[in-house]
Structure 1
Amino acid sequence: MIITVTLNPALDKTLVLKKVSMGEVNRVDTTRNDMGGKGINVSKVLKELGMISAATGFLGGILEEIFRKELKSIGITDEFQSVTGSTRTNIKVVDEERKEYTDFNEPGPEILPEELSDFYERYHALVKEGDLVVLSGGVSQGVPKEIYGILTKMAKEKGARVLVDAEGEALVQAIQEIPFLVKPNEKELAGIVGKESLSVDEMIQEGKKLVQKGIQLVLISRGAEGSILLTGAHTYVAEGLKVPVRSTVGAGDAMVAALTFGLEMNMSPKEMLTFAQASGAAAVMKEGTQAATKEEIYAHLKEAERKIKEWNK
């Protein structure tokens, strides 16, 4: 089974304007609301690819029932823990003239100690040997900074493989427990090594250090510039696909879903990178955080494959 964990889900409200004028009244051209949060986004893409997943994390407030109904209608198994706090709303503003994408993300609810304890019990019972567990996104208030490390260790002890897409201390703590795969973007990777930015050579060097720790796959996403995939035997560098961008939100989640799909289908690392690049490209062409379809992803596979080279320096 595939299990996605979203510890701080959100209703993603996307506002599209021809031009944003700060300090003035702005008229919104179109809006859309999407059930979101990084793990949920992964589950949505997996469903489009024909794979069922169980989604867990925390839900509360007036949005809880809306999320549960949406999960059921999509066909994602609902394993969320109810909490007393309210699930957040994130605002995504698209300035079409400037091609600018601005996010306003709420902090989310505070998780009470007893709610966290109940979640640990639910998670431990849910994870089984052979499962793929995706830990992605930020955490709510009241959740310990080492939670991704705790969840990684628990899943590994049950015989599951863990994929982590996080930043800052959450990523650092997860790395200490040696998950199967990590997917930092270039900014997140630079952050955990204490630098503002990294060159391609430096990214590869830091990625190799993670592989040497025992992490089987390291994908470094670079937005429009492409991505880098490192294994114990190979380093692949992918050039970004040139596609019209409607929203960058959810592109990284689509890549994580592609990697999860690739592991489930026993793809080679290069095939997984090809699929991840195609999925990310298809995602940015969609408004909000709606998932790209299988057909939209597959349409980019050939071009994605052509843009991958093995790094031999």
Structure 2
Amino acid sequence: MVITVTLNPALDKTLILEDFTPGMVNRALSVRQDIGGKGINVSKVLKEFGVQSVCTGFLGGNLRELFLRELKNKGIDSDFVLIRGNTRTNTKVVDRVRNEFTDINEPGAVIEKDELEEFLGKFEEIVKSGDTVVLSGGASSSVPKDIYRTLTGIAKARGAYVLVDAEGELFEEALKAGPDAVKPNDYELSLLEGKKLETDDDILEAARRLMDKGVGKVMVSLGADGSMYVTKDSAFRAKGLKVDVKSTVGAGDSMVAALVYSRLKGFDDKETLANAQAFGAATVTLEGTQACTPSDIAPYLSQALSKITEV
């Protein structure tokens, strides 16, 4: 079973405008809403590719029933801890004239001590040997910064495979438990290194330092510049694909889904990177945080393979 953890889910509200002007009245051309949060986004993509998963984490407030209903409608299983606080709404502003994308993310609900304890107990119950656990996204300030380290330790002790996609202290703490795979972007990796990573060699060396700390595989997303995938057997660099960008939200989550999907399918490292590139490229061509589908990624797979070199 695949288990995705979303500690700070959000309703993603996307406003499409022309010529967005701060400080003025702006009128949206269209609005869409998608349930989200990084783990939930991963589950949405996996479902489109025939992989069933269970979403867990925290849900609360007047959005709780909306999330549960939407997940059920999509055929995605869920087992959330229901909290007293409110699930947040994140607002995405898309300016079609300037081709600019602005995110305004709310901080999220306070997680009370009893709610955190309930979640840890639930997590210990649902994770089994052979499971794949995805720990991705941020957490509200009320959640301990070592939460992903704790969850990684629990999952690995039960024989599960753990993939982490986080930043800052959450990421740094998770590394201490030796996750099987991680997917930082270049900014998150730079934060960890304490300096800006300027070249591919910088990124490769930083990825290998993570592996020296006990991480099994490292996928580094580089936005429009592509990505790099480093394992004990190989290191590959993929150049970016040129696509018509409609939303930048969720591309990294789709790449995480590609890592899970590729592992379940037994793809080699180069095929895994090509899938990650195709999943990410297809996602940015969709509005809001829609999940990409097999037909969405099909035009990009061969192109992605042709742009991969070993480093």
Query: Which range, TM-score by smaller chain?
Result: over 0.9
Aligned residue type for 1:48 = E
Distance 1:189 1:200 in 2: 12
Deviation at 1:267, TM superposition (A): 1.1
Deviation at 1:40, TM superposition (A): 0.2
Deviation at 1:200, TM superposition (A): 1.6
- The answer to whether residue 258 in structure 2 is matched with residue 258 in structure 1 is yes
**Alignment of structure 1 residues 13-24 onto 2, 5 Å:** 13-24=13-24
Aligned to 1:83: 83
Distance 1:32 1:73 in 2: 17
Contact 2:164 2:183 in 1 (8 A): yes
The answer for unaligned runs of 5 or more in structure 2 is: none
Aligned residue type for 2:28 = V
Aligned to 1:70: 70
Aligned to 2:101: 101
Number of aligned residues: 311
Aligned to 2:59: 59
Aligned to 1:232: 232
Aligned residue type for 1:121 = G
Aligned to 1:39: 39
Contact 1:4 1:42 in 2 (8 A): yes
Aligned to 2:217: 217
Deviation at 1:212, TM superposition (A): 2.1
Aligned to 2:48: 48
Aligned residue type for 2:123 = Y
Q: Report the 3-state secondary structure (helix = DSSP H, G, I; strand = E; otherwise coil) of the residue aligned with 2:246.
A: coil
Deviation at 1:198, TM superposition (A): 3.3
Deviation at 1:104, TM superposition (A): 0.3
**Alignment of structure 1 residues 105-116 onto 2, 5 Å:** 105-116=105-116
**CA deviation vs aligned residue, 1:244-303 (integer Å, no higher than 9, x gap):** 000000000000000000111111111111100000000000000011111111221100
Contact 1:11 1:35 in 2 (8 A): yes
Distance 2:188 2:69 in 1: 34
Contact 1:190 1:198 in 2 (8 A): no
Normalized against structure 1, the TM-score is what? 0.98
Give the CA RMSD over aligned residues.
Answer: 0.7
Aligned residue type for 2:221 = S
Aligned to 2:137: 137
Contact 2:239 2:308 in 1 (8 A): yes
Deviation at 1:195, TM superposition (A): 1.2
Distance 1:196 1:229 in 2: 19
Deviation at 1:106, TM superposition (A): 0.2
Deviation at 1:211, TM superposition (A): 1.6
Contact 1:212 1:232 in 2 (8 A): no
**CA deviation vs aligned residue, 1:131-166 (integer Å, no higher than 9, x gap):** 000000000231100000000000000000100000
Distance 1:227 1:220 in 2: 5
Deviates more, 1:18-27 or 1:197-206: 197-206
Aligned to 1:267: 267
Distance 2:210 2:270 in 1: 19
Distance 2:75 2:122 in 1: 20
Contact 1:186 1:198 in 2 (8 A): no
Aligned residue type for 2:192 = I
- The answer to whether residue 204 in structure 2 is matched with residue 177 in structure 1 is no
Distance 1:83 1:148 in 2: 19
Aligned residue type for 2:288 = G
Contact 1:246 1:284 in 2 (8 A): yes
Contact 2:197 2:203 in 1 (8 A): no
Aligned to 2:8: 8
